[in-house]
Amino acid sequence: MRVSYEWLTDLAGVRDVTPTQVAEVLTMAGFPVDEVRPIDLSGLQVGRVLSQRPHPASRHPLWVHEVDLGDHVRSIVAGAANAVPGSLVAVALPGTTVPDGTVVRDARIAGIPAQGMMCSERELLVSDDHGGIMLLDGGKPGQALEEVLPFDAWLDVEVTPNRPDCLSHLGLARELAAGLGRRLERPFMPAFVDGIEPPGTELIAVEIEAPDLCARYIGAPITGVRVGPSPRWLRRRLFAAGVRPINNVVDVTNYVALEYGQPLHAFDLTRIRGRRIVVRRARPGEELLCLDGQLRRLDSEMLVIADAEAPIAIAGLIGGEESAVSEATTDVLLEAANFDGVSVRATSRALRLRTEASTRFEKGLSPELAQAGARRAAALLAQLAHGRVHLNWADRYPRPQDPVRVRFRPEQVDALLGVHVSLQEMESALRRLDFQVQIQDDGSWDLLPPVYRLDIHIPADVAEEVGRLYGYDKVPATLPGNRRFSWVAPLPSQERRLDGLRHVLAGAGFTEAVTLALVSGALLDRLGVAERAMRVLNPVSDEQDTMRTTLLPSLLQVAALNANRGRPAVSVFEVGRVYLRRADRPQPDEPVRLGALRTGLGSAEAGRTAFLELKGALERALDALVPLQVAYQRDAATLFHPGRCARVVVAGRPVGYLGELHPAVLRDFDLDGRAVGVELDLEPVLALDVPRRACPLPRFPAVHRDLAVVVAEEVEAATLEETIRGAGGELLESALAFDEYRGSQVPEGKKSIAFTMTFRSPERTLTDAEVDARLERLRRVLADRHGATFRA
Amino acid sequence: MSEDGLAQRAREIAAEAVGAVARAAAPEELERLRVTYLGSRSELMAMPRAFRTLAGAEERRVLGQAFNAARTAIEAALDQRARELERSRLADLAETEAIDVTFPGIEPRIGRLHVLTRVQREIETVMERLGYHVEVGPEVETDWYNFEALNLPPGHAVRDMQDTFFFTSSEDLLLRTHTSPMQIRAMERLQPPIYVIVPGRTYRRDASDASHSPQFMQVEALAVDEGLTVGDLKGTVMAFAEGVWGAERRIRFRPNFFPYTEPSFEFDVSCGVCAGRGCRTCAGTGWLETGGCGMVHPNVLRNGGVDPERYTGFAWGLGIERIAMLRYGIDDLRLFYENDLRFLEQF
């Protein structure tokens, strides 16, 4: 909310604080001030126009003025003709920057010297009026303008939604005064305005058909108004608060809304058909041409103000065009009402319209505030628009505000704050905020919050008020301690355990990415991985409308982005969740997965090597979590190359896939070359309970043997390895395939797989003869079982 | 030859050999001299065969001494010369084997952890030292946990503070707008005293720009115990801030409003760029808005199954990206999720 410093300090009755100090006090009271913009009038002077004559040479209408500045007279050229001789004006001399940012230059216009500028209201940020030169009510030539026009500054104040009472200058003035240790003199409820006959209730009838949505409706008829411009002080305050001045009647409703925080509306009384106001839900098909020129369709969820025939306003949001106050209006119906916040908010959202009124109502206002606003506006309309206020307003109040009483013990406040606040200090703080304090015989306090404070219910709310004014900087900082402590085992978190895997992958050359969980649903559909996807009802863009079901597309996007920026080969991984809809309950599964991707591989052979490297890195990474054996089974999963994909199996359970990415998938991401990737669930791995045990170091030397096994194409390394392990006996320590060969040395349709084997006994040094005998047996078994031959 | 002649000959050989060894210029030459003078076919090594035929023990003794003296002298000369040659070879290393030490290093092909992971872990470490443990929970949440249990009633304007993503599959589901649903879940799962920290992804319906992202990371701490005070909250936030930023930074508490805490605060950390004097980073205020906190509202304790008459609690939370941005001078939130390697490789 934009606030006028001049208005605020006037209401608070403080004259001795700068705008920056005001900002500091409000910020520490819980109303952060984002910006302070002083309206700098220094360097501007009062001038008296001595003469005015048309410019002799200009083709546009211009007037040349002689202006008395006290100690000298200047020639000033202006386009407006209203600064007739005798007028007092605000003069800016060359070199001055006026508040709206215009820099005044020393110039000649068609031969006549222009030695300064007479300012308009807009140039001085008094209003948006640029139609003429602003004429001053007082001052003498040469006097500093600051002495004639009170200094002002604009403050941008954040008001939290629990304090709609402070969406007003009066509310913030109270906070300002309280923060400075003072109390606002002015009572919250203005005095009743003496009314004339006939009673208001004879001029208008008010009926509330929807008391659930309207707790109170005051209709105050004010007749005989003369619509015209508001006085400058009022226009200036409105403008400072960001509201455009229109005419005295409309301006008064806006002014009171900004002063008290109670939205008001003025109808032209004569346009209300049947002299009846009905507060009801809209009927199907009803429409309203609103003040902003828009025709809005209403529905039966929306509350409207209707006359005998049709809606004339949308409650708490905007008035209708037909019933609006115009230049010709003489009789006004002033509306001060209380509408339900949830309803106003719903209507505001449905119509996509937010107004000064709706932002206040939707937070929930006190119905008592309606009366204060009505009284204040009536008095101002009488004063500024010659309005005649009638007695006996139509005031329907079907749901009076419940009085609130909070009982607490002052020690409770101390206990919550962690500091002792003296009873005097506590009481003073609460009284400065308009609370009534009744101290009971047993030492407990009964607290009656002011009617406009709907946010105070429990002792903790009171503690907050006391703490704010006492000053949280005075609360000593302590740490919880010396209390009963039930032990929570300090096991490392899952994320911290997964760091072991992260570090191994980083060591293997992969950089960690963190990608967005919201992805494009169309992309998942196209890739065929949209099964069980959760779709967002109200996405901000098509690119982020679905929760990801797999990590690899996100990593492919990372690769594509880097390729576009000149890095065609990347190695990246991510540890993150995917989101999978469940049939048996609304909330999805959110398994934590590992995804890794390496792109930019040039050839089929490079793809094979990268596959094996990724496999090796994966095994080391998983080993950092749990010591385990990983098994692989040929598979053809979505996204993967059908001939180069393995299902990854851990402890008998498939957890994911490893392989080359399908060329068509890479093309979808505009990626050149080949890529290998892996994606698997980590939680089943973390859940394994495999203890890591140390093995004693061998005491006897090992004997190594290599064996090149020539077999048919379809025989896989893992199968041979299994046979070797089975036939090798207890002396075979390890067997590992290390080379694959096709070519002139082996027959067509066959391949050679070379194994390196280690034999060792825990009890003695093996002899060559012993090992050769084992090897011979191995050859026989391999030949029998797989038709293997052997290369030298 | 007589025994005297043999002894004399041994001394001559030794003298000749020692001279030759002293003149040798390379290790290979020393090896050759060793063969010449001490090899199995050398004259010296043939002597024992010759004097074995001599009858007298005394003669054999004299000859033996002469032979041993000669051999020892030659061996000593060989060893000494070998050491000398090695020393002079090493003395030349600076000239013979010099490399350009200013040549750029060869970087190992090693990846890096994401900056958000690093910062998150750092935050967790500080809090774990204070006795908190990490709890994580679902990102796709129900209205109850994200809003209603936290004192944010349906239809109320306070929900506008957190514009929310919903799902097509159920009206009740949403993407959590903060990590606070875990306050309720932690209270349901654990008995007081509760000291937990909750890091995780959160979502708000904001368009993406330099300071907004529809997805971001929060971390939240919750303490529920007997007799916790605003002072304890303040001390905990200060201990945290000192752990993350260092002891010279100051903390400021400003009253604020959150429906789930009462009283509520925002906390600011003094600007590290200007030490609180006011600069561009802190918009001239000397303070950096850092996070929100407060004493857990009694309704929230009740909704978590905790008796507010017996226990009080406090909670604070902040955005992990913001911490990282302040720490490293990063000016655009989008960089974290774009994963341009030129960015990631800076951390």
pLDDT digits (tens, 9 = 90+) for A433-469: 999 999 999 999 999 999 999 999 999 999 999 999 9
Residue A517: pLDDT above 60?
Answer: yes
The answer to whether the beta carbons of residues A324 and A224 sit under 8 Å apart is: no
Q: Nearest chain A residue to B155 by CA: give it.
A: A342
In this prediction, does ipTM exceed 0.90? no
According to DSSP, residue B130 is labeled T
Residue listed under structure tokens 């409820």: A189
Q: Does B118 touch chain A (CB under 8 A)?
A: no
Residue B100: pLDDT above 70?
Answer: yes
Cross-chain Cβ contact A537/B167 below 8 Å: yes
Q: Does A475 touch chain B (CB under 8 A)?
A: yes
Q: Does A493 touch chain B (CB under 8 A)?
A: yes
pLDDT band, residue A123 (cuts 50/70/90): very high
User: Is B15 a domain residue?
Assistant: yes
The residues near B226 (Cβ < 8 Å, ≥ 6 apart) are: A483, A484, B192, B193, B310, B311, B312
Q: Is the same domain home to B338 and B255?
A: yes
Cross-chain Cβ contact B295/A496 below 8 Å: no
Q: Is the same domain home to B171 and B273?
A: yes
When scoring A157, A478, A531 by the number of chain B Cβ atoms within 10 A, the one with the most, hence best to mutate, is A478
Cross-chain Cβ contact A480/B225 below 8 Å: yes
Q: Is the same domain home to B290 and B177?
A: yes
Q: Does A519 touch chain B (CB under 8 A)?
A: no
Q: Nearest chain B residue to A590 by CA: give it.
A: B138
> Of the ranges A252-266, A489-503, B203-217, which is most confident?
A252-266
Q: Of the candidates B341, B339, B321, B318, which has an alpha carbon nearest to the alpha carbon of residue B331?
A: B321
> What is the strand order of the sheet A703-712 is part of?
A732-741, A750-759, A703-712, A789-791
d(C-alpha B207, C-alpha B320), whole Å: 19
Model pLDDT for residues A211-222, shown as the tens digit of each residue: 999 999 999 999
Cross-chain Cβ contact A30/B257 below 8 Å: yes
Q: Is the same domain home to B73 and B121?
A: no
Give A461's contacts in chain B (Cβ within 8 Å).
262
Q: Does B137 touch chain A (CB under 8 A)?
A: no
d(C-alpha A543, C-alpha B212), whole Å: 16
Residues A512, A515, A520: CA angle, nearest 5 degrees: 150
Q: Is the same domain home to B77 and B148?
A: no
Residue B95: pLDDT above 90?
Answer: no
Q: Of the candidates B81, B68, B84, which has an alpha carbon nearest to the alpha carbon of residue B14?
A: B68
How confident is the model at residue A483, as a pLDDT? 53
Give B344's contacts in chain A (Cβ within 8 Å).
511-513
Give B195's contacts in chain A (Cβ within 8 Å).
480, 488
The answer to whether the beta carbons of residues A710 and A789 sit under 8 Å apart is: yes
Partner residue facing B169 (CB), from A480, A505, A581: A581
Q: Does A463 touch chain B (CB under 8 A)?
A: yes
d(C-alpha B263, C-alpha A320), whole Å: 42
User: Is B106 a domain residue?
Assistant: no
Model pLDDT for residues A663-693, shown as the tens digit of each residue: 999 999 999 999 999 999 999 999 998 999 9
A59-73, A306-320, A554-568: segment of lowest average pLDDT: A59-73
Closest approach of A499 to chain B, Cα-based (Å): 9
The answer to whether the beta carbons of residues A452 and A403 sit under 8 Å apart is: no
Measured CA to CA in angstroms, residue A161 lies from A84, A359, B283 at distances of 50, 9, 25
User: Is B16 a domain residue?
Assistant: yes
A342-351, A511-520, B133-142, B281-290: segment of lowest average pLDDT: B281-290
pLDDT band, residue A588 (cuts 50/70/90): very high
Q: What is the mean pLDDT of chain A?
A: 94
Q: Is the same domain home to B137 and B239?
A: yes
Measured CA to CA in angstroms, residue A566 lies from A600, A661, A675 at distances of 12, 21, 17
Query: With pLDDT > 70 as the criterion, what percentage of chain A qualifies?
Result: 99
Residue listed under structure tokens 């490789």: B345
Closest approach of B335 to chain A, Cα-based (Å): 10
Give B114's contacts in chain A (Cβ within 8 Å).
511-514
Closest approach of A776 to chain B, Cα-based (Å): 43
Within A484-585, strands assigned E span 511-512, 518-519, 546-547, 571-577
Domain region containing B60? 3-96
A 583-602 residues with CB < 8 A to B: 586-588, 590
B 297-326 residues with CB < 8 A to A: 297-298, 312
Residue B317: pLDDT above 80?
Answer: yes
* Number of domains observed in the structure of chain B: 2
d(C-alpha A467, C-alpha B229), whole Å: 12
Measured CA to CA in angstroms, residue B38 lies from A152, B1, B28, B45, B71 at distances of 111, 21, 15, 6, 7
B 139-198 residues with CB < 8 A to A: 139-142, 154-158, 160-161, 165-170, 172-173, 175, 190-191, 193, 195
User: Is B33 a domain residue?
Assistant: yes
Q: Is the same domain home to B159 and B277?
A: yes
Within A473-514, residue ranges assigned H as helices are 494-507
Size of chain B, expressed as the number of residues it contains: 347
- Show the tokens assigned to B272: 């590290």
Cross-chain Cβ contact A363/B336 below 8 Å: no
How confident is the model at residue B3, as a pLDDT? 62
Give B198's contacts in chain A (Cβ within 8 Å).
none
- Show the tokens assigned to A295: 């025709």
User: Is B103 a domain residue?
Assistant: no
Cross-chain Cβ contact A488/B195 below 8 Å: yes
When scoring A472, A545, A580 by the number of chain B Cβ atoms within 10 A, the one with the most, hence best to mutate, is A472
Residue A546: pLDDT above 70?
Answer: yes
The H helix count followed by the E strand count for chain B is: 13, 9
Q: Of the candidates A107, A86, A90, which has an alpha carbon nearest to the alpha carbon of residue A43?
A: A90
d(C-alpha B129, C-alpha A314), whole Å: 57
Cross-chain Cβ contact A587/B191 below 8 Å: no
More confident residue, B155 or A411: A411
Cross-chain Cβ contact B225/A364 below 8 Å: no
Closest approach of A548 to chain B, Cα-based (Å): 12
User: Judging by DSSP bridges, how do beta strands A703-712 and A789-791 pair with one another?
Assistant: antiparallel
Give B172's contacts in chain A (Cβ within 8 Å).
586
Residue A524: pLDDT above 70?
Answer: yes
B 41-100 residues with CB < 8 A to A: none
Query: With pLDDT > 70 as the criterion, what percentage of chain B qualifies?
Result: 99
A-B Cβ pairs (cutoff 8 Å, strict):
252
The one-letter code for the residue type at A67 is V
Closest approach of A643 to chain B, Cα-based (Å): 29
Residue listed under structure tokens 């903390």: B251
How confident is the model at residue B1, as a pLDDT? 55
Q: Is the same domain home to B61 and B150?
A: no
Distance of CA A767 to the CA centre of its chain: 76
* Domain limit, last residue, from B96, B125, B157: B96
Q: Is the same domain home to B163 and B16?
A: no
The residues near B104 (Cβ < 8 Å, ≥ 6 apart) are: none
* Domain limit, last residue, from B66, B96, B126: B96
Q: Is the same domain home to B27 and B61?
A: yes
How confident is the model at residue B40, as a pLDDT? 86
How confident is the model at residue A39, as a pLDDT? 93
User: Is B323 a domain residue?
Assistant: yes
d(C-alpha B200, C-alpha B178), whole Å: 9
Partner residue facing B232 (CB), from A418, A486, A534: A418
A188-192, A477-481, A559-563, B51-55: segment of lowest average pLDDT: B51-55
Cross-chain Cβ contact B215/A499 below 8 Å: no
The answer to whether the beta carbons of residues B6 and B48 sit under 8 Å apart is: no
The H helix count followed by the E strand count for chain A is: 20, 38
Query: Residue B33: left if φ>0, alpha if ψ -120 to 50, beta else—which one?
Result: alpha
Residue B10: pLDDT above 90?
Answer: no
Cross-chain Cβ contact B111/A513 below 8 Å: no
Q: Is the same domain home to B231 and B312?
A: yes
B 272-291 residues with CB < 8 A to A: none
Q: Indicate the helix (H) or strand (E) that contains A157.
A: strand A152-157
Residue A770: pLDDT above 80?
Answer: yes
d(C-alpha A748, C-alpha B5), whole Å: 81
Cross-chain Cβ contact B173/A463 below 8 Å: no
Q: Nearest chain A residue to B159 by CA: give it.
A: A161
How confident is the model at residue A486, as a pLDDT? 55
Model pLDDT for residues A473-496, shown as the tens digit of each residue: 999 999 987 555 555 667 788 999
- Show the tokens assigned to A515: 């990608």
Q: Of the candidates B324, B261, B246, B269, which has an alpha carbon nearest to the alpha carbon of residue B293?
A: B261
User: Is B298 a domain residue?
Assistant: yes
How confident is the model at residue A482, as a pLDDT? 55
* Domain limit, last residue, from B33, B64, B96: B96
User: Is B52 a domain residue?
Assistant: yes
Taking residues A9-37, report their average pLDDT: 94
Closest approach of B159 to chain A, Cα-based (Å): 10
d(C-alpha A616, C-alpha A652), whole Å: 19
Q: Does A480 touch chain B (CB under 8 A)?
A: yes
Q: Nearest chain A residue to B199 by CA: give it.
A: A495
Residue B160: pLDDT above 80?
Answer: no
pLDDT band, residue A115 (cuts 50/70/90): confident
Q: Does A517 touch chain B (CB under 8 A)?
A: yes
Give B253's contacts in chain A (Cβ within 8 Å).
472-473
pLDDT band, residue B62 (cuts 50/70/90): confident
DSSP A389-449: EBSS-EEE-SSPPPP--EEE-HHHHHHHHTS---HHHHHHHHHHTT-EEEE-TTS-EEEE-
The residues near A697 (Cβ < 8 Å, ≥ 6 apart) are: none
Cross-chain Cβ contact A536/B167 below 8 Å: yes
The one-letter code for the residue type at A62 is L
The answer to whether the beta carbons of residues A745 and A791 sit under 8 Å apart is: yes
A 363-402 residues with CB < 8 A to B: 363-364
Q: Is the same domain home to B272 and B213?
A: yes
Closest approach of B102 to chain A, Cα-based (Å): 26
* Torsion angle (degrees, nearest 10) of CA B177, B183, B188, B191: 170
How confident is the model at residue B2, as a pLDDT? 62
A690-699, B178-187, B272-281: segment of lowest average pLDDT: B272-281
A189-203, A320-334, A339-353, B286-300: segment of lowest average pLDDT: A189-203
